[in-house]
Amino acid sequence: MYKKMFEPGKIGNVKIKNRTVMTAMGVGVAEPTGMPGERWATYFEERAKGEVGLIITEVTRVNNNNGVATPGQLSVATDAVIKPLSKAVDRIHKHGTKIFVQLHHPGRQSMAAIPAMWPFGMAASKVFPPFWKVAFAMGSKMNMDLDALDTPLMIKAQSFLPGLYAPSDVPCGLGVSFVKNQPTHEMTKKQIHKLQEQFIDGAVRCKKAGVDGVELHAAHGYLIQQFLSPYTNRRKDEYGGSLENRMRFISEIIEGIKDKCGKDYPVIVRLTVNEFYDVLDMPDEGIKLEEGIEMAKRLEKLGVDAIDVSCASYETLNHLIETMSFEQGWRAPFVKAIKDAVKIPVIGVGVIREPAFAEKLLKDGTQDFIGLGRPLIADPYWVKKAKEGKDDEIQRCICCVTCFESLETNALSGQPCECSMNPRACREFLYEDIKKGKKGKTIVVVGAGPAGLTAARECAKRGYKTVLLEKAATTGGQLNLAKMPPHKDKMNWAIEDLTKQAELAGVKIKCGVDVTEEVLAKYKPYGVIIATGGVSAKPPIPGSDKPNVCTTTDILNGTVSVKDKNVAVIGSGMTGLETSSLLVECGNKLTVVEMADKIAPGLWCQHYFDVVPGLEKAGTKFITGSKLVEITDGAVVLEDKKGKRCTVDADAVVLSLGVKPVNNLEEAARKVAKKVVVVGDAKKPGKIYTGTKEAFKAAITI
């Protein structure tokens, strides 16, 4: 069906069975020691089973001290990795898929506490083998509060830690970056040369393990890119200044790998060709496309076998790991610019979510290989389904960035990243042998939101006769509200794909059903899973019953329309901010009120920067540290923490004060079924991935 995508290709002397590449993503599936265990091997083998042509591993450290980035990061820093890596590589090769290892050093984009403490952990685990298990158990009870990095106490505390390696003392922390206020150390020449040797030695170990090639991570703001960028590299010696000097660090690594591994051992460079500092109002800073093209040309002359085109850094993170507001294929113009400049193969990513779109990029000559990152987390069988013409069975990535957010927030517990659409992601080895359900038994799932659809699908896969009952006229639940703000249309993909997956599994979906005890009893269920979601909370604040007051739900579902008015939005969580964006589009002037000391407390940085700058540009006024105490006919009365009150004009008031569970069926369900489980927002309001994860676990154990 997709002739171009399934043509064989080559990178150097390595033949690849099709034009799809699983690009490197930090997911945290290796052991704390850096070894590739069962979790690591099963995760990558699952994608090989899905028929991807080439796998490039997640960021792999070459140094176990200052090069540590995440707890579950693969390491090729010692010979100990060769044997286990070789065994894992054999499992991938068994499916006809090739594998490259991405060699990486975080440089300034890390937390100084990690390299400071990690050597101690490595040493302790040799003396006390359960060390990591105990450490992560303790870490799981702690809250990963990245906002705390901005507090005076943490800034002072971190200043005593050893500095992070970097070409120059330019700390990370602008724009979207969650890495802030970290001490940064300008590398000496001795340190530069030692680290170059470690990159080269890492490549040698990869070759010994049977890895087909290596990729140098010169993108996303990590150390090699820091040397390449005129913003982060301000050195005055031969490793800084001119482009030739800034490229010297990577050039000498490439020459060393080719010397020790052989000129025919493939080397890919993942290259940021545009740092996008213009989005931070710094248009003259960093790598811009013109210089990125020149870098690609010089890398080709050095003998590099392919360019894996990328962009941005942590400081421009939304251009690196795109949020929902980015269109499919938005990077195509600068991928094509590199393709036109070099003769070696070009790999390109850029929100490529659908096979037809991928095929078009190949036919148009935009790139030689299709880079698939997050799509293969959401659906490991994306490539196989495309090959078989089953596009409508693909579970598309919706760009919710839960994978990256969870990678960071799970760090203290040592757990890998999570996916809103695929609860099995990075945990495949745990779910290889799910027990069949009780023969001939029926499971009724109530509520067809993401949790209900997930639960129903998994119950049906286990062999249960599964019925999904939904009160509304369509499936989707709260996603039907979530898709309404600007640039949130990918939520439709979640509804369509989760519904299709449930149908394919054999779920009988019935919409427009008002579920009662009598309705449940009709099915004589063995089990009932309640996934009835939640509703917007409307606390009894004086004046909240006035006709000019509504909730975000009323705005998003179209029950209430507000245009060309002064509107007060109370609450600045994600729903409040996205509803505010919709209200701005309708010509309203907004005041957003937040009781906490900052807007969107606890909101992941990418979501904040995806919405708040647009609201600021539209003239939205933000008031923090104040709570709503009364609503009058034309205003809201606010009270700050000192008890001082003020009045803000408001023709309309929109409440975004959280969600309360809807669970009025549990008692009835227990009268007619042996097993009853409540999941998702019906149990406790949360994010999409918390609901689908709970639903998945309930469905495979009921």
The confidence score (pLDDT) of residue 143 equals: 73
Confidence of residue 159 (pLDDT cuts 50, 70, 90): confident
Which domain CATH number covers 480?
A: 3.40.50.720
Confidence of residue 288 (pLDDT cuts 50, 70, 90): very high
Determine whether 222 is an active site residue: yes
Residues 677 and 571 in one domain: no
The confidence score (pLDDT) of residue 117 equals: 84
Confidence of residue 116 (pLDDT cuts 50, 70, 90): confident
pLDDT at 121 over 90: no
Please tell me the distance from the alpha carbon of residue 55 to that of residue 565, in angstroms, as a whole number: 53
CB 445 within 8 A of CB 467: yes
Residue 123 counted as domain residue: no
The confidence score (pLDDT) of residue 142 equals: 74
Please tell me the distance from the alpha carbon of residue 656 to that of residue 691, in angstroms, as a whole number: 20
Half-sphere exposure for 482 (CA within 13 Å, toward CB): 19
Residues 582 and 487 in one domain: no
The one-character DSSP state at 695 is H
Half-sphere exposure for 241 (CA within 13 Å, toward CB): 5
* pLDDT, average across residues 271-297: 97
Which domain CATH number covers 216?
A: 3.20.20.70
Torsion angles phi and psi, residue 528, rounded to 5: -130, 130
What's the pLDDT tens digit per position in 659-684?
999 999 999 999 999 999 999 999 99
Residues 349 and 383 in one domain: yes
Residue 428 counted as domain residue: no
Express as a percent the part of the chain with pLDDT over 90. Answer: 90
Residues 639 and 502 in one domain: no
Residues 350 and 466 in one domain: no
Catalytic residue among 2, 222, 231, 608: 222
The confidence score (pLDDT) of residue 356 equals: 97
Which domain CATH number covers 644?
A: 3.50.50.60
The confidence score (pLDDT) of residue 486 equals: 94
Residue 116 counted as domain residue: no
Residues 519 and 441 in one domain: yes
* pLDDT, average across residues 600-621: 94
Task: Label residue 413 exposed, middle or buried (CB < 10 Å: 0-12, 13-18, 19+).
Answer: middle
Q: For the residues of 20-78, what is the DSSP string, one character each?
A: EEE-------S-TTS---HHHHHHHHHHHHTT-SEEE-S-EES-SSTT---TT-EE-SS
Residue 72 counted as domain residue: yes
Residue 163 counted as domain residue: yes
The confidence score (pLDDT) of residue 616 equals: 96
The confidence score (pLDDT) of residue 132 equals: 86
What's the pLDDT tens digit per position in 214-250?
999 999 999 999 999 999 999 999 999 999 999 999 9
Residue 118 counted as domain residue: no
What's the pLDDT tens digit per position in 568-584?
999 999 999 999 999 99
Number of domains in the chain: 3
What's the pLDDT tens digit per position in 52-73?
999 999 999 999 999 999 889 9
Residues 485 and 630 in one domain: no
Beta bridge partners of 182: none
Mean pLDDT over all residues of the chain?
95
User: Tokens representing 103?
Assistant: 């060699």
Residues 38 and 146 in one domain: yes
Residues 370 and 454 in one domain: no
pLDDT at 134 over 90: no
Beta bridge partners of 566: 589
* pLDDT, average across residues 33-48: 97
What's the pLDDT tens digit per position in 303-349?
999 999 999 999 999 999 999 999 999 999 999 999 999 999 999 99
The confidence score (pLDDT) of residue 298 equals: 98
- Give how far Cα 544 sits from Cα of 197, 548, 562, Å: 67, 9, 17
- Amino acid, single-letter form, for residue 487: H
What's the pLDDT tens digit per position in 190-211?
999 999 999 999 999 999 999 9
pLDDT at 146 over 80: no
pLDDT at 118 over 90: no
The confidence score (pLDDT) of residue 464 equals: 97
Residue 40 counted as domain residue: yes
Residues 153 and 207 in one domain: yes
Residues 202 and 327 in one domain: yes
Q: Alpha carbon 34 to chain centroid distance?
A: 22
Half-sphere exposure for 602 (CA within 13 Å, toward CB): 11
Residues 399 and 448 in one domain: no
Closest CA to 74 of 187, 209, 164: 209
Residue 582 counted as domain residue: yes
Helix (H, G, I), strand (E, B) or coil at 511: strand
The confidence score (pLDDT) of residue 144 equals: 67
Closest CA to 424 of 363, 358, 464, 379: 379
pLDDT at 595 over 90: yes
Confidence of residue 551 (pLDDT cuts 50, 70, 90): very high
* pLDDT, average across residues 578-601: 95
The confidence score (pLDDT) of residue 481 equals: 95
Residue 618 lies in domain: 549-657
